[in-house]
Amino acid sequence: MTESPSKTDTSDDLSRLDAVALAKMIRDKELSPVEVVSLTIERIERLDQNLNSVIHRQFERALELASSSELPDGPFKGVPMLIKDLWAEENGEPHHAGVKGMRDAKYIARTDSDLVTRYKEAGFIIVGRTNTPEMGAVATTEPLAHGPTKNPWNFDYGPGGSSGGAAAAVAAGFLPAANASDGGGSIRIPAAMCGLVGLKPSRGRVPMGPEKEEWGVSIQHVVSHTVRDTSAILDATGINFPGDGVFAPEFGRPYSNENFRTLKPLKIGLKISDPRVEVNPDCIEAVYSAASLLSDLGHHVEETSPQALNDPERVNELGWAFGINWSVNIAANFTYLAERLGRELVEDDVEPGTWFLAERGKEQSATNFVKAQGIMSTLRRELANWWADGFDLLLTPTTAQPPPLLDRLTPTEEDPIRASIESVPYSVFTFPFNTTGQPAISLPIGSSNGLPVGIQLVGAYGREDLILAVSSQLEEVVNWSANRAPFHA
């Protein structure tokens, strides 16, 4: 007699579906929202003790919504979603931003962020919040507030940051996609380290209100297994609100389409080096592998890139400007969180590296801050001209090094800036495009000693359509979503 499949078997089978497929099963009444959410909860409860990716669980609220007639009938009705615990707030749920002082105060958010509103309108059911480094400041997810998140490919390594909790949860098969954010590479870096797709959209494509603004370096989206999910979720959530500060230009929607099958040959530049760091040979090999695939697809690839990203003096100048902007924003975030706590943050509330960055930000003059904005604006215009002069995309490694061992990127009392310095090799190829506001995606092509590495495709401002079309072409050839982490639900 054949035994009936167990709940665990069913859960593990569903863990290989992407969000689009899961939504279709719910629409076709093959599964109910309650069944899907219940199976997601089962996976998290069974497996996350090994990963520490989901730090706040709202299972009861999720099940209540899943069974309610009030669940919005959007394109992802009944599909579970995790929210990164950094700036994307949900009314009535914890929001700690990785900060010890916020955790100790047990702070509860009082409003929905606009993007959370879009997730809910799309029919997503939020089941919890994911781990993040303190204020998202470094390229690893090991906050003192909630402890380290591990990489599902190898527990000795980190999943990247600052969306490491989101990436680990998706890579482990808890759910098909999870909210993530990117201020210097924080979607793309964890996507690369966990074998996922991670798109940083154009500045202004995704609403950041009502508390944050669209014209900064940070933007939100998701990490996922498939380009289809990344595209379809952007269609559903990349919708501005009245009063948003930036509206990215449109070059054609929906992003989730079959246009990649008739895409004309593109001109793609290639960059494999950076003046500040040594690039691991496996990361370089991944880029050449992607370049070969792109050439086979009919695209023209040549080793050339914007001069401003190759000149050591200009690159150092940009690094200075980004560092000033970063530290000033950390200091500003202290004020933002102090308003929620009802008191000033003190040194014991935060980690030594965060305190150091905030103090550095407070010391900056208005003149220095304006100068930094000018440097970043100049780069934005120069890079825009490179794309306007005939190139469609730029191909680079996502990171200069493969995933680091846990504890390598953490700050200490003796060396509070160790985490910031050690994060540099992971962000040299990503952060320039936070300053310019251009869209960029990390795709899981390549590996190093059994761990994933990624390649990055960068488009002109507003050209997510081209990035996603080419990514779909590569996905059809590589079929990376079939290759799952050894620790997979």
Residue in 87, 83, 354, 392 with CA at minimum distance from that of residue 214: 87
Q: Which residues contact 66 (CB under 8 A, 6 or more apart)?
A: 32, 33, 34, 36, 37, 38, 78, 125
Q: Is 418 exposed, middle or buried (0-12, 13-18, 19+ CB in 10 A)?
A: middle
Cα–Cα distance for residue pair 288/123, rounded to 1 Å? 40
Cα–Cα distance for residue pair 382/376, rounded to 1 Å? 10
Cα–Cα distance for residue pair 82/176, rounded to 1 Å? 10
Cα–Cα distance for residue pair 165/96, rounded to 1 Å? 14
Neighbours of 388 (CB within 10 A): 9
Q: Choosing from 11, 53, 113, 186, which is the catalytic residue?
A: 186
The Cα-based distances of 396 to 199, 272, 284, 457 in angstroms read 14, 6, 8, 7
Q: At what angle do helices 352-363 and 418-427 cross, to 10 degrees?
A: 80
Backbone phi, then psi, for 34, in 5-degree steps? Answer: -65, -40
State yes or no: is 29 an active-site residue.
no
The Cα-based distances of 327 to 113, 133, 354, 359, 362 in angstroms read 24, 15, 9, 8, 8
Cα–Cα distance for residue pair 168/285, rounded to 1 Å? 24
Q: Choosing from 11, 15, 53, 84, which is the catalytic residue?
A: 84
State yes or no: is 84 an active-site residue.
yes
Q: What share of the chain is helix, strand, coil (3-state, %, to 5)?
A: 45, 15, 45
Q: Choosing from 15, 53, 162, 256, which is the catalytic residue?
A: 162
Cα–Cα distance for residue pair 316/325, rounded to 1 Å? 14
Torsion of CA 35, 41, 42, 45, to 10 degrees: -170
Please list the active-site residues.
Answer: 84, 162, 186
